[in-house]
Amino acid sequence: MLSDSPAITSVKPFGDAGITDPRFGHIITLTTGALIELQWVRTSPSSGDEHDEVPVTGDPPVPVTLPELPSSGRASIRLIEQHLAALIVNGGNPEIRAVERKSTRAEAGLRPCCVIVRMHSGADIFGVFRSLAPAGASLGGGGFQQGEEV
Q: Is the pLDDT of residue 108 over 80?
A: no
Q: Is the pLDDT of residue 89 over 70?
A: yes
Residue 142: CB atoms within 10 A of its CB come to 12
Section 142-150 average pLDDT: 70
For the stretch 24-68, pLDDT in tens is 999 999 999 999 999 999 987 766 666 667 789 999 999 999 999
Q: Is the pLDDT of residue 16 over 70?
A: yes
Does pTM surpass 0.85?
yes
Q: Is the pLDDT of residue 144 over 70?
A: no
DSSP per residue, 36-98: EEEEEEEEPPTT-SSS-------PPPPP---PPPPSSS--BHHHHHHHHHHHHHHT--TTEEE
Q: What's the pLDDT at 145?
A: 65
Note whether 35 and 122 are within 8 A (CB): no
Q: Cis bond leading into 22, ω under 30°?
A: yes
Section 72-77 average pLDDT: 92
